[in-house]
Chains A and B, each alone.
Chain A
Amino acid sequence: MRTYFIEFTYFLASILFILGLRGMSHPESARRGMHLAEFGMLAAIIGTLLNQEIVSYEWIIAGLLLGSTLGAILGVWVPMTAMPQRTAFSHAFGALAASLVGISEYYLHGAHLGEFKMGALGFEVLLGSLTTTGSLVAFAKLQGLMPGAPTTYKGQNVFNLSLLGVTIACFIGLLINPGAAFLFYLMLVLAFIFGILLVLPIGAADMPVVIALLNSYAGLASAATGFAISNNVLIIAGTLDGGSGLILSIVMCKAMNRSITNVLFGAFGSVSETSTAGVDGQMREAELDDVAVRLAYARQAVFVPGYGMAIAQAQHVLRELGETLEERGVTVKYAIHPVAGRMPGHMNVLLAEANVPYSQLYELDHINPDLAATDVAVVIGANDVVNPDARDNPKSPIAGMPILEVDRAKAVVVLKRGKGKGFSGLENPLFYKPNCEMLYGDAKESLTHLVQAVHKA
């Protein structure tokens, strides 16, 4: 009877998780969906607590209490701008949990594991461990605790791949002889090291792909746990998580016109001396009042936010500028590139936080045809996603990447901190075009001044 009840809670949780994620297909139904998923989680936890294998509860209660406190603190206090770091951090936690369960299983039953269980357990520990350290490195890069630029050295790919080879060899050895404990612990240590080395050469601008990929690994580690302890809800939830991460990383790669292999092993962003020398013309600095007048009398203005907006925390004042313009009858749209920012959907969340209605946020395919009819396009701290080289120069490292074609707008104003190059180190010919002007300075300050100037215009 008890077994049936426990299995029922797992079944219920599986259904509710799926319904919950289905709710995510629209912002209107998303919250309700998440409440279903929360309920499912609660049911599964209660079911598990009735498991007869559990004989004492002190460690459990301590863990649940500590975890809830930490979770609540992270959930309530983390600002929206820090969402990429938080996500990377939580992948580390999820993966570590999966990994530890695997280690404990092996520690208890090591030599008596069947081939299949050993295989599942191996995957769990391997993926879990490399995701833990990999996510921590990603976190450190995003938080600015270590340089965001790729860390590279000679023979890096060869070294990393050989390390991975040795790790996999340990795994195969374990499949043949599950009792070989030293192979297990060697594999564990190597997987931890490999995770660090995997993310080190990846630049912060490629983080959207990496975060999505680590999300996928963390999910697959959970799914492998499900195989190891024959638990279906774990397999289903883990697979959903793994699949979601994989789909997101593919979407991100497509948005950069690169393959996953290229992101992982290409060390993009370390190559700055590429074929972009042939840019002629001069960057022109804009007068703030001119920009304000142009905006105030435009029919349509399009804002293109990038990571620079996130750093400057300029989303609120941007919304203020948007509203001021709308009051004057300007049509205001926000163009969001899939890889703008440091994680999938980053810009959308920041603008939503600033109260911009999501009906004003436009995706790449929807806004590009509209840009030629736009009077002023304002680029706020974005660079590569508006680089026309991706479209025009087949030799450019970002050739073929879909861009927001702001250069087709009647006028472009670029808000930028300084004259330096963008994150990828590429020259951006947009800045030299005759219809483009630069507005240097902190994005938040520039926008604040623009709001005042528009009021006066």
Chain B
Amino acid sequence: MPAETLITTFYVFILAAFLGYQVISRVPPLLHTPLMSATNAISGISLVGSLVTAGAHQTLVSAILGFVAVTCATTNVVGGFVITDRMLRMFKRKAAPAPKKEEK
């Protein structure tokens, strides 16, 4: 791997770490569980690696490893996003002051 690529990769990594810290610190404890399932779904992006492994078809072993990896990652992506949305739908503010008869 050429040195420039290596350096750029590290730049991306470090900047992502700083950005991640800034973004994640602002998530209130209220949403920590949805945050976990959301980051879990997002890290299912490892699909981009496993799709290539499963489709490149260099050997049967690598294809099967790839297939299992695709299955696992897709499960996380789909399951993670579905469940995050299910949770977020439940968080309701409801009118703060006293009159509260509209929903039970």
Chain B binds chain A: yes
Interface residues of B (CB under 8 A from A): 1, 5-6, 9, 12-13, 16-17, 19-21, 23-59, 61-94, 96, 98, 100, 103-104
Contact assessment for B48 and A48 in the assembled complex, using a CB-CB cutoff below 8 Å: yes
Contacts A60-B54, A211-B36, A215-B36; is A101 near B79 (CB within 8 Å)?
no
- Least CB distance from A103 to B in Å reads 6
A45 at the A/B interface (Cβ < 8 Å)?
Answer: yes
Contact assessment for B91 and A352 in the assembled complex, using a CB-CB cutoff below 8 Å: yes
Q: How far is the CA of A105 from the CA of B69 in the complex (A)?
A: 12
Collect the chain B residues with CB atoms within 8 Å of residue A237's CB.
42-43, 45
5 contacts between A and B (CB under 8 A): A93-B75, A230-B5, A241-B40, A344-B29, A344-B33
- Least CB distance from A335 to B in Å reads 12
Contact assessment for A241 and B39 in the assembled complex, using a CB-CB cutoff below 8 Å: yes
Contacts A71-B77, A227-B9, A233-B45; is A54 near B51 (CB within 8 Å)?
yes
Contact assessment for B23 and A101 in the assembled complex, using a CB-CB cutoff below 8 Å: no
Secondary structure call for the A interface: helix
Q: How far is the CA of A35 from the CA of B58 in the complex (A)?
A: 36
Q: How far is the CA of A117 from the CA of B9 in the complex (A)?
A: 12
Supplied contacts A41-B42, A45-B48, 5 more A-B pairs, CB within 8 Å: A30-B34, A44-B45, A51-B52, A248-B32, A344-B36
Contacts A31-B85, A222-B43; is A239 near B67 (CB within 8 Å)?
no
Chain B residue with the shortest CB-CB distance to A17:
B42
A67 at the A/B interface (Cβ < 8 Å)?
Answer: yes
Report A139-168 residues with CB < 8 Å from chain B CB: none
- Least CB distance from A305 to B in Å reads 14
Contact assessment for B74 and A233 in the assembled complex, using a CB-CB cutoff below 8 Å: no
Report A245-282 residues with CB < 8 Å from chain B CB: 245, 247-248, 251
Collect the chain B residues with CB atoms within 8 Å of residue A97's CB.
44, 46-47, 50, 68-70, 72-73, 76
Collect the chain A residues with CB atoms within 8 Å of residue B57's CB.
55-56, 59
- Least CB distance from B63 to A in Å reads 5
